[in-house]
Chains A and B, each alone.
Chain A
Amino acid sequence: MRPISLKLVYFTLLLAFICHLLPWAGFGLMLRPDFVLLVALYWMLRAPHLCNIGTAWLAGLAIDLASGGLFGQYALAYAFTAFVAVSYQRRLALFNIWQQAGYVFLLLLLTQLTLLVLKLFAGYEAPGWHYFLPSVSGVLLWQLAVFSRLSSNHPKHQS
């Protein structure tokens, strides 16, 4: 396989951003997985020399601008998650697919919790349990991507 180029990383991030911009509404909006974070996490775990905390921070900034909320909250949450993801990145090679999925799920939850804390500080009302649905749908999407790669191509990591 060709080495991963920086262009590919930014192109996939852009695609994920367009997915984020799709006109989601109602239940879809509630379920919408965090595409940009998922793609950023994928590259961070796969190629941390190309996609690191700075990239995640910039992606978060773009989301902040698009969502029109308080400027910098997504950036902070993404940077924090990226830090955790990158610090444990080397151990990931030892994990099997399900352990990886669990790890990604924890990272997504961590992002949402950080965001929740920031939002509560900014004076939002505490949301219901469905606030955490995007983490669930996000990890499902992650597994779907992993499995589709498995069936078509080759195993990524086999422990």
Chain B
Amino acid sequence: MPRAMEHQHPQAFFVRGPSAFARLLLFAALSIALMATDSRLHYLIEIRQGFVALLQPLQMIANLPTVLYGNVREQMVSHQTLLEDNRRLSLEALQQNAQLQHLRALQEENDHLRSLLGAAQSISQPAKLGEITHTGRDPFTHKVVVNLGSQQGIIAGQAVVDGAGVIGQVTRVYPFSSEVTLITDKDLAIPVQAERNSLRAIAFGHGRDNTIDLPYLPANVDIREGDVLVTSGIDGIYPMGLAVAKVTRIERTPDSPFAHIVCKPAAGIENHRQVLLIAASSAATPTGAVISSNTKPSEAARHATHKP
């Protein structure tokens, strides 16, 4: 048997077709052309989408083991655990209902005040519930894939949040799934403001260690450890006031004009499966026209008149 195997090798001595080096040159040239086209010209979006749609059945097969495991585990949950969960959840629902009533009163009051001021009404943006099917394939980018795609009306640029705060933004949409870049990714920036003193800044993902950086802030900036950063809503993508991160460490070195501020994301980026995809508001008006201090009253009025 092994002899028979080795007898196959002599076939390879008579190489048909071009030499190995010629093949390498051809394929290297092809790949470099593809890379250039993809990174500079963006011609390959449709091809990618088509292929990912084709890949969907394979992906479902690959996801089967985890789905089965989840199902089996659900079957094994004991009666006692379910009862406890039920009790806890109904208690939570009761508490949250009470808070919600308070919130409704506040919202009405807020709307009334806004109309008195002539400011734009804050828009409540519709959201869709999606589920994370898997994390990205590349361990060095922070991405997850969600089971909603262009067939469900998802478009690139939508904000993605979970119960605790912002997770990231939809960066690529395929027919039945979409790719979400997490806020810890190096390429994602998000406009934030500190809850304590409304200091505005832009947060960048760190790319490693699941942290977020606040670069380009002067060393004497008024930020303390423990400050909560929320979305400022200036970009028109993220609704205002969603929790983003908490400042965990501030380093001020004498040789740098900037403070080195490290934050920890508020959302459970690593451990949630269900996420909300928030539809981008059609008119990208700053919802907090009155609150953001640098918007002049005339601008606020103009925004108000732009609103239909």
Contact = CB atoms under 8 A, between A and B. Distances in A.
Contact size class for A?
35 or more
B44 A90 contact: no
B271 to A, nearest CB: 10
A23 B35 contact: no
Contact of B135 (A23, A71, A86): A23
A150 to B, nearest CB: 11
Q: What's the dominant secondary structure at chain B's contact region?
A: helix
B24 A66 contact: no
B294 interface: no
Contacts of A20: 137
Contacts of B55: 21, 65-66
Contacts of B20: 52-53, 83, 86-87
A67 B6 CA distance: 36
Nearest to A26: B270
Contact of A72 (B31, B143, B179, B270): B31
A95 interface: no
B8 A47 contact: yes
A87 B207 CA distance: 38
A66 B62 CA distance: 12
Contacts of B6: 93
A23 B52 contact: no
Contacts, number: 146
A98 B52 CA distance: 39
B2 A156 contact: yes
A21 to B, nearest CB: 4
Interface size class of B (residues with CB under 8 A): 35 or more
Nearest to B51: A65
A53 B217 CA distance: 51
A25 B9 contact: no
B39 interface: yes
Given A17-B58, A124-B140, A128-B208, 17 more contacts: A4-B8, A23-B63, A24-B135, A26-B270, A46-B8, A52-B20, A63-B137, A67-B136, A70-B35, A70-B39, A71-B38, A72-B32, A75-B27, A79-B28, A93-B6, A122-B39, A154-B2
10 contacts: A18-B62, A21-B59, A26-B270, A47-B8, A66-B52, A72-B31, A125-B186, A153-B1, A154-B1, A154-B2
Interface of A: 1, 3-4, 17-26, 29-30, 32, 46-49, 52-54, 57, 60-61, 63, 65-73, 75-76, 79-80, 82-83, 86-87, 89-90, 93, 118-119, 122, 124-125, 127-128, 131, 153-156
